[in-house]
Amino acid sequence: MSNIKKVKKAGKFIRLPGKRGFQFKIQLNFWKLVLTGLLILFFLPFFLSLFSEEGLSQKVEISQALIDIKEEKVEKIIIENERLTLTYKDGGVKTATKEQNQSFADLLEKSNIEPTSVNYDVVDQTMAKAIGDILSILLPIGLMAAFFFFIIRAQTKGAQDIFSFGRSKAKLFAKGKQSVTFKDVAGVDEAKKELEEVVDFLKNPAKYRKIGARTPKGAILFGPAGVGKTLLARAVAGETGVPFFSMAGSEFMEMLVGVGASRARDLFAQAKASAPSIIFIDEIDAIGRQRGRGFVGGHDEREQTLNQILVEMDGFTPNDNVIIIAATNRGDLLDPALLRPGRFDRRIMLDMPDKEGRQAILKIHAIGKKFTKGVKWSGIADRTVGFSGADLENMLNEAAISAARNNKTTIDAEDIEEAATKVKLGPAKKRLQSDEDRKITTYHEAGHAIVTHFLPKMDPVQRISIVARGMSLGHTFIPPAGDRVHETKNRVLQQITAMLGGRAAEEEVFNEMTSGASNDIEQATRLARAMVVSFGMSSLGPIDLGPQVSYDEMGKPNWYEPAQISPAMQEKVDNEIKTIVEKCYKDAILIIKKERKILDKVSKALLKKETLDRDDFEKIVGKKANK
């Protein structure tokens, strides 16, 4: 590892290289100063001549100069070799040039001018001229030599960099260099237990060898973003007493072909030399994707890197006492050879934390923050169903920022609620809307809430708001009552009905349709399609009618696979989806018509307060009936 020092200067830390790099920097600055000085010496006479009396004077012919001297217009003359500088009585300055072997006294006699009547001085510049001539020859040569010196130096340094491309860029964390431990990890108890065993394997290998157990070659962490995969790896680095090499999958790749495989060899060589040790590869899907699906073919740089990693993990060369830990949120893209036993023996799945896990995560991230005594962590855990560990940490941080912005000394439940909404939907926006737009938005959100409230399988409405956030003009928040794993057909149908409640309210109240329901329609159609093609909840029966298409956070498909069904079956699928959506929409309209008076009351309260929580809403519509 390079010797890195930290120097505190003007309140900031500046990273300086080690001793050799520092000497090279001083040497490089020295040559820069020398080159700058030579350039100044070379161009200085030129600039000085521009602003000297000669540079500012007017040139005249020698015959005219002699005429002016004869007519006694000239006050003083200075002779410098062949150049004459004439200072006139009116203050003007002119220059003239005589022949090289012609004396000034002879010129005066030829012009019938007595030399004694002229005030002139002769300046000898033979030595200055000689020095100037020498510098005019040496300076260009010196400049060219300095130029070629820096070119050669840069080429030498570039060649050294080329040979260093193949070296591993992994960061080494020795014992005591990582402060995160397993105590800082919560909500993923099963995964933590698996990795605790890996650490114990390295700390107490004799205990396992005595009974005939083999040390696992590797463990791979699967899970969505934000659940704590990298945090677990950092905890392993903090718990273990062995060298820990951390590297991202993208760091293997480089512009030059073969660099990735070379870096893989160098990484495993360093780990074997430091055995027992751990290698952590984050986002391994950058290099571990299934081979043969690319456009380049078998000699793709990424595939060469993957082949080298496969050999290093389990090839002819023994790989004892080196454990590889990897993390990815796209496990479906990994090559099967990478996942087989003998390479990654343990597949550790991480999911969104349950209620107990969320409470534990909240307590960890609450350390160092000041909360009011009335904050109930159990209620916050219920409120944050579907939040990852990263979401919870961000929520508490946003709550602390909100409290500080409002000059509060502690964080209260209102700050946490606002932060939770901000994390999922974005900050509140004060958009200028007409009265008609506000009224339409109010009835739209009230329609969602009313339909949801009167559907027996739906969870209670937690919050209704017409404050714009993100891309929406309002929202109706309906958190799950618990960590539900299964969804029944009736509950899915009622979810579609609740999604269409906003459009139903618009049509009932305004006898019109607006574009504000586009996202609701998209989600309802997607859920109805899932019922038909994936869940088997239609008259077509329990058949997987794919294709499987994943969606990003903005609701757009990540990729598209061609349909594996006939056109006739596709028509049946479309008809089933249409039937489901139309049936749910009719149910939503019936509820809106039946509860029109309550809908008007909720809309009126929303226009006045903009946001209604569960208590405010249930004061108008009553308590939700037990399911």
What CATH number has the domain bearing residue 216?
A: 3.40.50.300
How sure is the predictor about 295, in pLDDT bands with cuts at 50, 70 and 90? very low
Is residue 379 located within the same domain as residue 477? no
Is residue 76 located within the same domain as residue 26? no
Contacts of 382 (CB under 8 A, 6+ apart): 355, 479, 482
Where a domain ends, among 383, 407, 425?
425
Look up tokens 């037990």; give the residue. 626
Is cis: bond before 547, omega within 30 of 0?
Answer: yes
Residue 556 pLDDT > 60 = no
Is residue 279 located within the same domain as residue 385? no
In a domain, 6, yes or no: no
pLDDT at 162: 45
CATH of the domain at 533: 1.20.58.760
Is residue 336 located within the same domain as residue 236? yes
Q: Residue 187 carries which DSSP code? A: S
Give pLDDT tens digits for 120-156. Answer: 666 655 555 666 667 667 767 776 777 667 666 655 5
pLDDT at 580: 94
pLDDT at 333: 79
Where a domain ends, among 324, 349, 374?
349
In a domain, 473, yes or no: yes
Give pLDDT tens digits for 317-342. Answer: 555 678 888 888 887 778 888 888 87
Give pLDDT tens digits for 410-466. Answer: 888 888 888 888 888 777 777 667 788 888 889 999 999 999 999 988 888 888 888
Is residue 296 located within the same domain as residue 376? no
For 347-362, b/e burial (b = at least 16 CB within 10 A) is ebebebbeeebbbbbb
Is residue 565 located within the same domain as residue 531? yes
| Longest Cα separation, the chain | 132
How sure is the predictor about 351, in pLDDT bands with cuts at 50, 70 and 90? confident
The domain tally of the chain equals 5
Mean pLDDT calculated for residue range 576-581: 94
In a domain, 9, yes or no: no
In a domain, 626, yes or no: no
Is residue 492 located within the same domain as residue 611? yes
Is residue 190 located within the same domain as residue 251? yes
Catalytic residues, by residue number, are 445
pLDDT at 448: 92
**What are the Cα distances from residue 493, in Å, to 435, 488, 545, 585, 626?**
34, 9, 19, 10, 18
Q: What is the 3-state secondary structure (H, E, C) of 10-56?
A: CCEEEEECCHHHHHHHHHHHHHHHHHHHHHHHHHHHHHHHHHCHHHH
Is residue 402 located within the same domain as residue 496? no
Q: Tell me the C-alpha distance between 581 and 524, whole Å.
A: 7
Which residues form the domain of 38? 17-49+130-164
pLDDT at 377: 85
Mean pLDDT over the full length of the chain: 76
pLDDT at 454: 92
Where a domain ends, among 349, 381, 414?
349
In a domain, 501, yes or no: yes
CATH of the domain at 419: 1.10.8.60
Is residue 339 located within the same domain as residue 231? yes
Is residue 320 located within the same domain as residue 219? yes
Residue 384 pLDDT > 50 = yes
Q: Tell me the C-alpha distance between 502 and 273, whole Å.
A: 65
Give pLDDT tens digits for 482-523. Answer: 677 788 899 999 999 999 999 999 999 989 888 888 889 999
How sure is the predictor about 172, in pLDDT bands with cuts at 50, 70 and 90? low
Beta strands in 249-319 (DSSP E): 277-282
Is residue 359 located within the same domain as residue 387? yes
Q: What is residue 427's three-state secondary structure? A: coil
pLDDT at 204: 80
In a domain, 10, yes or no: no
- 422 vs 20 pLDDT, higher one: 422
Give pLDDT tens digits for 214-231. Answer: 777 888 888 888 888 888
